[in-house]
Every structure is written in structure tokens, then in C-alpha cells.
Structure 1
């Protein structure tokens, strides 16, 4: 059974990426571009914390940095409901706009783009503990999965764990997420199918008619879904302005023919389509949120089966006896009959 820092379920990953950063670095002295990038690494998380505190304090301390990949920051959170997914996306988008307004617009050629993807552990994805230092290792034939699970299960202090290990995630959903992120733009915050499913389900349940489900096209993503065209969904960022292409699309009543505009519909109208993709026998993504309002998200058979298998890998027969739980009184002869 998963314990310690080893929690099963779906993890939401949120990306924020600086656009036109190479141009900015090439055209400015070190002191100019370095200051802006340092602000991105420090002030964006601070603005995110402020947005969380004012809009949804329940997320405070849970939305944590997963990776800094050059000009991109990716945070993660294990979501417990559709509402939490929606709240996390809302505060993320608010922080993106706040950072652009304060540090980028009118001062640099840079803007922000981003997206969200969902991974589910322990299947089809996996949480892993990566040792931070190289040292003597146990060269026995212990199963690598068993070692990984035991390390995660025994970790109860996040700070102590972080000193020895890097927490990471691997799997098909992570690969798909990075493939989808390349279709992000300043206006369109892209989503994998699983992220779109849980987000649009919430919008539909709450009858949030002002929200739209955008389609950024179907694309062949290398290695994903057998090379079949993958639907890239998005939500439009509220940038407080209307770009000329939007006016053109409105005039001709056709967003599909405008290069930087995309067709949209009400979230409820796209849910059946999303379900059809996810029901395909070769589909690898999953949603597993035990506290979800919709029963379809509450369980995931493959994850439950994987958990049962992983628990069976851990052999505790040679572990040292914990005398606080079992003092070994049965070995005492006191009180035993003498005849």
C-alpha cells in the first residue's frame, strides 16, 4: 500500500515559458537580460503565491516547482477534485498575466506562453526517486521497482527526502505533455486531452458558459498514440485586449481560416468527443482523482492493478523488527506453565 510521499492519483503539471527569449538575450547586455530572467525565476513564483492566497488558499504550499527547463518553469500538484484543477489553472493564468504586465510588456520583446498536462501514477506513469549523489550502492539483485517503491514509502519528511533524492515523474503522459506544449502561444493555453477532460467537465458541471473549449488542431505527435492525429485543446487567455485577427474572424464568422485564431465551442459540447478519444483501446492517458464529483474520474483500474503489483514486490521478511510495535514479549518465559 502506498505510504509516505508515495501518493497515487493524477498530478497536474502547469508550464510557463518565456517567448522570444533568445532574441532578447542576443540583443542586450548581460546586466539587462540576466535581471529579467532572475525576476522570472523568483518573482513569478511569488506572484503565483499571491494569486493563490487571494483566490484559493487551499492550494497554498501544494503547487510546487517540478522543473526549470531553461526559459520554462513547470509546477505540479496532485489534484483532488475537478474544482482544484480549475482553480490551479486560474491562478496560474493570473500569475502569467501579472508577470507579463509588471516585467515584460513595453520593456522587452518577450511574452509568456504555457499549457497544462496530466499524469497518473502508478499507471500509466510513475513517480521515481533519483539519488542526488553518487556513492556506494547495494549491488544485490533487488528489483529496481521494489527499491523505488520502498524509498518513496519510507519517506515521510519532504525536506529530508529532497536532500537525498530528486522526486521525478516519467511515463507516456509526460512525453505527451511536452509534445503538446510546443503548440502553445501567448493567447492559447494548451491542454492535453486528460487535462481538457477534467477542466471542461468542471466548466460544464458548474455551467460556466463564459468558458470556451478551443481546438488548436489535430497533430501527429512523435511517438504518441501510434502516430494518429492527436487533438490539442486550449483555453484562451484573457489578455484584456482584442487582436486584429479576432476582429477578422468575427467579421467573416470563421475562426478556422484565420492563422492565429482557432474554432471553439461550449465545454459541454466537446465532452463526448474527448471521451471517444480516451476510450480508444490504444489510448495511454488516464485520469484518477478519488475526490472527483464525477464517478468516471474516481477510479482507474490500471492504477489499482499496478499498485497491487508494486506492493507485492516489497519483501519485508528480512527487515529489522520494530520493537516499539512488537516488543517480543512472546519470547519471555514469564507466566508460562511449568508443568
Structure 2
């Protein structure tokens, strides 16, 4: 079983809440309640629009909400389906910002990654947290689940940071040209790839591109790298994937086979 996880988080939320210091939650609570209530609805609408001509519309379920972040889980049956889900997510983020954040200093950033469940990554059915109507409470644990939370550190507004496993699937999709990918740097992720710097890849809607604000470009080298450069060539991205796979095999004896969606 392979699942696609999607994290959407608020940028600037700590500073925003600090503006209301001394007032408790008055002033900011409505903004956050609206996000957790309305963003999933907007995402569902964009997913429905993206798959309106398809026989199957994938289900995008909320896994958990924590802090200023909501995490969704899906089970795409093909690379094309995964690419369409990401495009719908990017549109939902942009639409939500335009409706709810136009006059407040908040933005949305996203992370997307794949997890294959089996030996290394497992699903836990936690009976004590099950709903009263009998619905199960499923949690997910494993190194590939953790990878997404490590990557989320490098998420920036108006884009998605994606894992290499997901990128590899997307590059092979027939609708891959709906997304643009930028290799913006490399950095060490705790507990990932034995300390070898991990490629930081951002995805954007190929038609809309990035929507960075001027000060975001000025203040963040990664944003500046993406804003001032064309999308990375597929050959360069595939080479980054191949390099990491070679490193794991030669230096650590680890064979990491490509994932296969819908297999």
C-alpha cells in the first residue's frame, strides 16, 4: 500500500498571533478556525474540478490537524493521478489565500511525499482513539513518514516541496508538464540518507508559476533561486534521484527500488 501525504501549513502564524498579545485568542481564533474548516472544502472542490472528466475521483482524507497545519492522505492509483492531486492542491492554496488572506500577513506552504507501508512503515489502528460511531483511528509511523516532516522545513509559500520518491513518479506521468519542478538546493535531513544532503525540490503549477512576494525573494536564498531561474530539466532531476540511489547502494548496501503507484 502506497499513500500520498499532503501537508499544508500557515506561514507567519506565530507573528500573527503575537499581534494580539494580551487579548488571549480574541482576534486570531476565527482565522484559524476558518482555515481548518474551509480549506479542506476548497481542496475537495478543486480535486472534483481536476477530475471532472475522469471515471474516478480520488478521496483526499484528513489524517490529522496539529498546530497551524493540516495533513491529508490519499491513495493515488497512478502517477497521473498523483500529479493531478498536486495541481489541485496548489490551486486550492492559491484560492484560499486570495479569499481569506488578502489583508492579513499569512500565507500557505505545502509538502508532499509518498510512503510505502509494509516492513519499514506501518499503520496503527488505535482503538482508544476511535470515534464513537465505530470509525477507526489510524496513525502512521515509520522513517518515510518522518521524511515529510523533515522536508516541511524547506516548504515556502506558493509551492510544494516534494520527496524524491514522489518526484520520480511525477516525472514519468503523462501529465507531468502540468507541473514545474525546481531543484533549489541540498541540505542534510536528520535521520535521512545517512546524513547525505538531500535534494530540495519545489513544485509549482506550470501555468501559474510561483507567486512570491518581493520581500520573500529578498529574505530567502531558496526563494530567490527559484524565482530567478527556469524550471530544472527532467534529466537533471533524474540524475539527482540516480545519484542518491547509487550512494545508498554503494556506501550503505541499501537497494531502494522505485515505488509503483497502483501496483
- Give the drift of 1:192: 1.1
Q: What is the TM-score of this pair, normalised by structure 1?
A: 0.65
- Map residues 140-289 of structure 1 onto 2, 5 A cutoff: 160-162=134-136, 166-202=137-173, 205-206=174-175, 208=177, 211-236=179-204, 238=208, 241=211, 243-244=213-214, 260-262=224-226, 264-279=231-246, 280-281=248-249, 282=252, 287-289=258-260
The alignment status of 1:81 with 2:78, answered yes or no, reads yes
Aligned partner of residue 225 in structure 2, secondary structure: coil
Aligned partner of residue 26 in structure 2, secondary structure: helix
Pairing partner for 1:124 from 120, 142, 156: 120
Q: 1:102 to 1:258 in 2, by over 3 A?
A: closer
Report if aligned partners of 1:112, 1:186 keep a CA contact under 8 Å in 2: yes
Q: Which runs of 5+ in 2 are unaligned?
A: none
- Give the drift of 1:181: 0.7
Aligned partner of residue 113 in structure 1, secondary structure: strand
Task: Name the structure 2 match of 1:59.
Answer: 57
- State the distance in 2 between where 1:121 and 1:95 align: 28
Return structure 1 stretches of 4+ with deviation > 6 angstroms: 245-248
Q: 1:67 to 1:247 in 2, by over 3 A?
A: closer
Report if aligned partners of 1:201, 1:271 keep a CA contact under 8 Å in 2: no
- Give the drift of 1:199: 1.5
- Give the drift of 1:266: 2.5
- State the distance in 1 between where 2:119 and 2:175 align: 29
RMSD of the TM alignment (CA)?
2.9
Task: Name the structure 1 match of 2:68.
Answer: 71
Higher Cα Rg, which structure: 1
Pairing partner for 1:18 from 10, 24, 29: 10
Task: Name the structure 1 match of 2:105.
Answer: 109
Q: Which runs of 5+ in 1 are unaligned?
A: 1-8, 135-158, 249-256, 292-297, 299-339
Pairing partner for 2:28 from 28, 33, 39: 33
Q: What is the TM-score of this pair, normalised by structure 2?
A: 0.82
Q: 1:201 to 1:268 in 2, by over 3 A?
A: farther
Q: 1:68 to 1:246 in 2, by over 3 A?
A: closer
Q: What is the number of residues matched between the two proteins?
A: 245
